[in-house]
Structure 1
Amino acid sequence: MEAGDDFQLFVREQWPRLLRTAYLLTGDRGTAEDLVQSALEKTHRRWSQVLRKDSPEVYVRRAMVNTAASWWRRRRPIEVPLLASDATAGPDAYLQIEQRQQLLVALRRLPPRTQAVLVLRYFEDLSEAETARILGCSVGSVKSQASRGLARLRTDLSGNPSVRLQEEPT
């Protein structure tokens, strides 16, 4: 099997998971697809080195986190305040979707590094060690970022009793 075939197989197998991670990092499907493609382009250029040095999944996720942070720094999102009538959730069939949206909005307010830790740790269900490896930091840094990020999400979401975050195991 040639190197190009390995890369194509990797992309086919990992695309759904990478796209989900990218969506959680960006909040927009189109931007998420651009982010994954950009990260895969960077990975493809160094594919043989990536295979020898690091696992491809780690390399691509690290490229996605770094690229998303770079994009975020270049073009700050414009925050549009919601009307009080927009923020109140009614008792309907779409309550779970609304709660998820509120969580994603609160997640977007966090710094990019904290977003990345929470996305990798809790949405991708990676261990602290795996998250630290992807982000190139210590496990302690992942723990502190996660703790601070969850605390901030709890504060942001405390006005909405229908959205509850699980307590971290101690």
Structure 2
Amino acid sequence: MEDDDFGEFLQARIARLSRIAFLLTGDHHAAEDLLQASLEKVAQHWKRIRRSGAPDAYVRRVLYHEHVSIWRKTRLETATDSIPEPAPSADEAEDVVRRVVLQRALSRLTPRQRAVVVLRFFEDLPVSDAAQVLGCSEGTVKSQTSLALTRLRQLAPELDDFSREGVLT
């Protein structure tokens, strides 16, 4: 029964968790490795996690902590030339260009800056929650967010359109 619970949980969330892992790593293979390592840890403690009442938050936290642990060990960044399959939209070509520009700019941020951007803007977490996930102060989250957005604007001025649309504000 316990394994069925985990399977159902995973089936409902695997796409989002995969996307988060990709945004954190910037590489499909590294994202798969990150997600696998994180889910192995979650599976070992699933009974306790399920009872916690907040399994989504716990799994997300394991994912971010595992990512931080990996980049602390390696301190290497890997850029990728590919992006995930685009979601259907009215103007797919424009969406693809935006994703490529954003992905390339994100790949040139430090791992901590990228994590802050993903937490704050993709996950839409408040500063306090992002600080808790990353294990740092709220001031660090704010300063890293500011540095990351400044760097993104330098690397890709065309992303300024995102700011006006509320994507990167």
Q: What's the TM-score, normalizing by structure 2?
A: 0.74
Which deviates further from its counterpart, 109-118 or 96-105? Answer: 96-105
8 Å CA contact retained: 1:22, 1:35:
yes
Gaps of 5+ in 1: 81-92
8 Å CA contact retained: 2:26, 2:106:
no
Q: 1:98 Cα deviation (Å)?
A: 2.8
Q: Deviations over 1:76-126 (max 9, x none)?
A: 23679xxxxxxxxxxxx7454233212212212212121111012112223
| Percent identity over paired residues | 41
1:134 to 1:57, Cα distance in 2 relative to 1, 3 A:
farther
Give the equivalent residue in structure 1 for 2:6. Answer: 7
- The 2-side partners of 1:119 and 1:137 are apart by 16
Give secondary structure in 1 for the equivalent of 2:159.
coil
- The 2-side partners of 1:79 and 1:114 are apart by 15
Give the equivalent residue in structure 1 for 2:128. Answer: 129
Q: Output the aligned Cα RMSD.
A: 2.7
- The 2-side partners of 1:148 and 1:12 are apart by 36
1:98 to 1:115, Cα distance in 2 relative to 1, 3 A:
same
Gaps of 5+ in 2: 81-91
1:75 to 1:145, Cα distance in 2 relative to 1, 3 A:
closer
User: How many residue pairs align between the two structures?
Assistant: 153
From the CA coordinates, give the structure whose radius of gyration is larger: 1
Give secondary structure in 1 for the equivalent of 2:104.
helix
8 Å CA contact retained: 1:21, 1:120:
no
Give secondary structure in 2 for the equivalent of 1:110.
coil
Give the equivalent residue in structure 1 for 2:83. Answer: none
Q: 1:10 Cα deviation (Å)?
A: 1.3
1:125 to 1:30, Cα distance in 2 relative to 1, 3 A:
same
Give the equivalent residue in structure 1 for 2:76. Answer: 76
